[in-house]
Chain A
């Protein structure tokens, strides 16, 4: 099941063909490599966008990240726990 985390994280991204793609992030001192983006969507906070990413890391763990354009902050929103 999903577990809410909602903690700020540091994220390394690449920009490719006009798209911003997170490739790894640091959470609780650990660097987690993103193996696959399995979903993405956008929401709005007023006139600012929030970009959401559903990803699978190198250990096949599901994580949900978001990037708030207004504050240029990344968050780890959810992880999957058995």
Chain B
């Protein structure tokens, strides 16, 4: 059984949780009743997928990015070799080119490909436990509390999982094992790439204490800066800081900070997707626009996409939100709640157009437009009132239904409203 790295946060002498690659001898202190959470994080996922397809790129600085012609010119993923030059996801592509001119830039990322591979990954997870919570396209939490009889101790299960992913997808991942989600996520980040890190319950404090506060998921740069101003730099310092002072400074988050700094997290692995609270679409436009007709055309396309999703899941929504980003990158959102929840693109459009007038979108140049619908209820549950235009509405519903069926059969781009922007 081969694995490139195996680092345990427990001294080898104790032998409780081994740093030895001889996993068959691994003895963990966990009893079946104690939660065992595993966090899987794929290593530089998008870049690794591309490297697997083009084997000569392995070990080279590879950057996967959006298409600058569509003004999606940011880094979506960077290989580990590219990261050594300071390239990070979310960075503008021109900055990445400046940092590493000889990097290989793969432009025009393929979300559908990555999503498909991610779905295969999730199917592998389900072979080990039904308690799987996908956290993002390339990360998931697995509750393996009761899996010992089937797959052996947690470390052995993790090794089997890593092997299966490598064999079936040709990709490496980093795995963290810990008593809760917070620590499992931290563990997977401590030893990347291709790592396997186990944080036993009795070593939590010892491991957390020297780490910088920003290492923990949920503590961002802003919070870290405030903590730094209080003289708190490490999790050990945060964990022993008076919780009352933290509460005064951060409100209800103060208590959360105290808990997480001490490695306490009771959030369960939720294997069912949470109910949808809103549906929306937004697009960065190929070029800035300001003409009201152009804006309406984009909005119709976006409203059509949102309404189709609402109808597909038999939802109607009562609050419509417009998001606008101007050419100077200033963003605004405006919302309106309507009397009768809807899943009609024309009703959504009418509200979105009204909202657009209120944000000078016909005056200032617009870079991005987005429409979302929230306060969702199941179609048919909303209060029906007698309407003077029932016949007209019914006719329109029939048109929507036919358009939906055509799209179901031939794809999303097969039919669109004549006034809708074709590039969306």
A interface residues (Cβ-Cβ under 8 A, vs B): 1-2, 38-39, 41-48, 52, 54, 56, 60, 62, 64, 70, 80
Q: Could you jot down 8 A-B contacts, CB within 8 Å? A: A2-B108, A43-B113, A44-B411, A46-B409, A46-B410, A46-B412, A47-B409, A52-B113
Task: State which of B53, B105, B112, B408 has its C-beta within 8 Å of the C-beta of A54.
Answer: B53
Residues of B contacting A44 with CB < 8 Å?
A: 411
- Contact across chains for A38 and B55 when beta carbons are under 8 A apart: yes
- Contact across chains for B116 and A38 when beta carbons are under 8 A apart: no
Query: From residue A25, how far is it (CB to closest CB) to chain B in Å?
Result: 17
B49 contacts partner chain A, Cβ-Cβ < 8 Å: yes
- Contact across chains for B409 and A80 when beta carbons are under 8 A apart: no
- Contact across chains for B116 and A42 when beta carbons are under 8 A apart: yes
Residues of B contacting A70 with CB < 8 Å?
A: 410
Residues of A contacting B107 with CB < 8 Å?
A: 1-2
Task: State which of B49, B408, B410, B411 has its C-beta within 8 Å of the C-beta of A39.
Answer: B49
B117 contacts partner chain A, Cβ-Cβ < 8 Å: yes
Told that A38-B52, A43-B116, A47-B409 touch, could you supply 18 new A-B pairs with CB distance under 8 A?
A1-B104, A1-B106, A1-B107, A2-B106, A2-B108, A38-B53, A39-B170, A41-B112, A44-B411, A45-B410, A45-B411, A46-B408, A46-B410, A46-B412, A46-B414, A48-B409, A48-B410, A80-B54
Query: From residue B179, how far is it (CB to closest CB) to chain A in Å?
Result: 36
Query: From residue B24, how far is it (CB to closest CB) to chain A in Å?
Result: 32
Instruction: Look across to chain A and name the residue whose beta carbon is closest to the beta carbon of B106.
Output: A2
Residues of B contacting A62 with CB < 8 Å?
A: 53-54
Instruction: Look across to chain B and name the residue whose beta carbon is closest to the beta carbon of A78.
Output: B108
Residues of A contacting B55 with CB < 8 Å?
A: 38, 56
Count of chain B residues near A, Cβ 8 A: 23
- Contact across chains for B116 and A46 when beta carbons are under 8 A apart: no
- Contact across chains for A38 and B54 when beta carbons are under 8 A apart: yes
Residues of A contacting B106 with CB < 8 Å?
A: 1-2
Query: From residue A72, how far is it (CB to closest CB) to chain B in Å?
Result: 15
CA A7 – CA B108 in complex, angstroms?
18
CA A44 – CA B113 in complex, angstroms?
11
Task: State which of B105, B112, B170, B407 has its C-beta within 8 Å of the C-beta of A1.
Answer: B105
CA A31 – CA B305 in complex, angstroms?
42
A interface: dominant SS:
strand
Query: From residue B272, how far is it (CB to closest CB) to chain A in Å?
Result: 24
CA A47 – CA B105 in complex, angstroms?
33
Query: From residue B411, how far is it (CB to closest CB) to chain A in Å?
Result: 4
B interface residues (Cβ-Cβ under 8 A, vs A): 49, 52-56, 104-108, 112-113, 116-117, 170, 407-412, 414
Count of A-B contacts with CB under 8 A? Answer: 49
Query: From residue B123, how far is it (CB to closest CB) to chain A in Å?
Result: 13
Instruction: Look across to chain A and name the residue whose beta carbon is closest to the beta carbon of B114.
Output: A41
Query: From residue A62, how far is it (CB to closest CB) to chain B in Å?
Result: 5
- Contact across chains for B117 and A41 when beta carbons are under 8 A apart: yes
- B49, B105, B106, B411, most chain A CB atoms within 10 A: B411
- Contact across chains for A46 and B53 when beta carbons are under 8 A apart: no
- Contact across chains for A46 and B407 when beta carbons are under 8 A apart: yes
CA A54 – CA B113 in complex, angstroms?
11
Query: From residue A80, how far is it (CB to closest CB) to chain B in Å?
Result: 7
Residues of A contacting B412 with CB < 8 Å?
A: 46
Residues of A contacting B410 with CB < 8 Å?
A: 45-46, 48, 70
Residues of A contacting B414 with CB < 8 Å?
A: 46
A1-B105, A80-B54 known; A41 and B116 CB under 8 Å? yes
CA A26 – CA B204 in complex, angstroms?
60
Residues of A contacting B105 with CB < 8 Å?
A: 1
Residues of A contacting B117 with CB < 8 Å?
A: 41
- Contact across chains for A39 and B112 when beta carbons are under 8 A apart: no
- A43, A48, A60, most chain B CB atoms within 10 A: A43
Residues of B contacting A2 with CB < 8 Å?
A: 106-108
Instruction: Look across to chain A and name the residue whose beta carbon is closest to the beta carbon of B409.
Output: A46
Query: From residue B290, how far is it (CB to closest CB) to chain A in Å?
Result: 31
CA A64 – CA B52 in complex, angstroms?
13
- Contact across chains for B54 and A46 when beta carbons are under 8 A apart: no
Query: From residue B205, how far is it (CB to closest CB) to chain A in Å?
Result: 44
Residues of A contacting B54 with CB < 8 Å?
A: 38, 54, 62, 80
Residues of B contacting A1 with CB < 8 Å?
A: 104-107
Residues of A contacting B49 with CB < 8 Å?
A: 39
CA A15 – CA B106 in complex, angstroms?
32
CA A42 – CA B117 in complex, angstroms?
9
Instruction: Look across to chain A and name the residue whose beta carbon is closest to the beta carbon of B120.
Output: A41
Query: From residue B402, how far is it (CB to closest CB) to chain A in Å?
Result: 14
Query: From residue B146, how far is it (CB to closest CB) to chain A in Å?
Result: 33
* 4 shortest interchain CB distances as A-B pairs: A54-B53, A45-B411, A41-B116, A39-B53
